């Protein structure tokens, strides 16, 4: 029976990782850590044992005690302030939190000499602005982070390398590109579009206006259900000390995303640019190469973008119906990363 410790347990990615384990790893045991209670029903997982403990990862003694008592085989480190926009508003808080919680985790593993494999989740934001001739981006491309969040992610990667080479910890790292899917917070762009479109739909209108940021930027989107499958594959078959892009290898502009979502809803929409949604410095085009992860663990994305967008829209329809009288829906809820 494999034992998984998941930080950032209350969030969007964790929720989907648990669903993946429930379907594919019967009898797995999961210990979840987060500073906030999960809004999903833990009793919905029928094949795995789940236990949640409200924990601040800045409390190293508590983290060390949990690892000592649980003895995980695998640690999935999802906990972070994952919003780039938040990192611009609160750069010190974002950086200090993201780095210190990870260091506490590594130090606990080092002190206890625990044999757990750690999956350190990074971001495509690490790459920064790149010349289009260098696309798609491979793991060999030198990071040039443009935001406080991205700097923290590069730092996390660098300290991982120190603990692998200097202390022998078993760490596999990702540079995860944009992922989308049901239950994502609307602070993330595709979920924000979906929420606004569903609100227009619920008003009975077939045309409306979306509040947006820079629609010219291009991103590489992968369905979160493919992402968590990649994460479990990397835990089982990834190479110690290696970095892996988790991406689709295909880029889409945000303008194209709106076009596809509007077509799904048979809706005519215009857009209004909100200057507050445009970051001080933003990566214009991010498209990744997934050759390495395909070669090492045999993973490739399976869920088409159209299906992902349909599911995000339908999930927002569900969330918006939760508070209606007589609704039979359960917790729609926020799911932070």
Instruction: Report yes or no on whether pTM surpasses 0.85.
Output: yes
> Among residues of the chain, what percentage have pLDDT more than 70?
95
Chain-wide mean pLDDT for the chain?
92
196-248: per-residue pLDDT in tens?
Answer: 999 999 999 888 999 998 999 999 999 999 999 999 999 999 999 999 999 99
What was the pLDDT predicted at 323?
Answer: 52
Cβ contacts of 48 within 8 Å, gap of 6 or more: 18, 21, 22, 25, 26, 27, 28, 29, 30
Query: Which strand (E) or helix (H) includes residue 20?
Result: helix 12-24
260: left (phi > 0), else alpha (psi -120 to 50), else beta? alpha
What was the pLDDT predicted at 331?
Answer: 28
d(CA 122, CA 227): 13
Q: What is the bridge-based pairing of β-strands 252-253 and 218-219?
A: antiparallel
How would residue 322 be classed by pLDDT, with cut points 50, 70 and 90? Answer: low
Domains in the chain (CATH in brackets) are 3-179+220-246 (3.40.50.720), 184-219+250-321 (3.90.25.10)
Instruction: Answer with the residue of higher pLDDT: 163 or 283.
Output: 163
- Are 223 and 301 a contacting pair, CB within 8 Å? yes
Write the DSSP symbol of residue 292: H
What was the pLDDT predicted at 26?
Answer: 92
What was the pLDDT predicted at 325?
Answer: 39
């Amino acid at each position: 029976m494999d034992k998984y410790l998941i930080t950032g347990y209350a969030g969007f990615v964790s929720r989907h990782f648990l669903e993946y384990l429930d379907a594919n790893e019967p009898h797995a045991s999961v210990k979840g850590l987060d500073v906030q209670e999960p809004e999903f029903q833990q009793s919905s997982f029928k094949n795995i044992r789940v236990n949640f403990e409200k924990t601040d990862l800045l409390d190293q003694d508590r983290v060390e005690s949990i690892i000592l008592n649980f003895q995980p085989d695998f640690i999935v480190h999802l906990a972070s302030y994952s919003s780039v926009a938040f990192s611009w508003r609160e750069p010190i808080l974002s950086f200090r939190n993201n780095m210190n919680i990870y260091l506490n985790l590594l130090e606990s593993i080092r002190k206890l000499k625990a044999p757990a494999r750690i999956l350190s989740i990074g971001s495509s934001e690490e790459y920064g602005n790149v010349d289009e001739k260098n696309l798609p981006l491979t793991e060999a491309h030198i990071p040039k982070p443009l935001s406080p969040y991205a700097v923290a992610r590069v730092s996390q990667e660098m300290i991982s390398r120190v603990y692998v080479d200097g202390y022998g910890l078993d760490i596999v790292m990702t540079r995860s590109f944009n992922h989308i899917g049901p239950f994502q917070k609307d602070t993330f762009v595709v979920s924000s579009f979906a929420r606004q479109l569903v609100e227009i739909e619920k008003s009975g209108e077939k045309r409306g206006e979306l509040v947006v940021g820079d629609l010219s930027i291009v991103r590489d989107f992968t369905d979160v259900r493919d992402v968590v499958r990649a994460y479990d594959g990397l835990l089982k078959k990834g190479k110690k000390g290696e970095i892996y892009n988790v991406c689709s290898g295909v880029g889409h502009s945000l303008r194209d995303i709106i076009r596809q979502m509007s077509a799904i809803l048979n809706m005519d929409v215009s857009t209004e640019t909100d200057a507050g949604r445009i970051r001080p410095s933003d990566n214009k085009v991010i498209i990744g190469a997934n050759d390495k992860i395909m070669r090492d663990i045999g993973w490739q994305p399976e869920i088409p973008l159209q299906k992902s967008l349909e599911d995000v829209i339908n999930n927002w329809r569900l969330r918006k119906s939760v508070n209606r009288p007589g609704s039979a829906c359960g917790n729609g809820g926020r799911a932070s990363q």
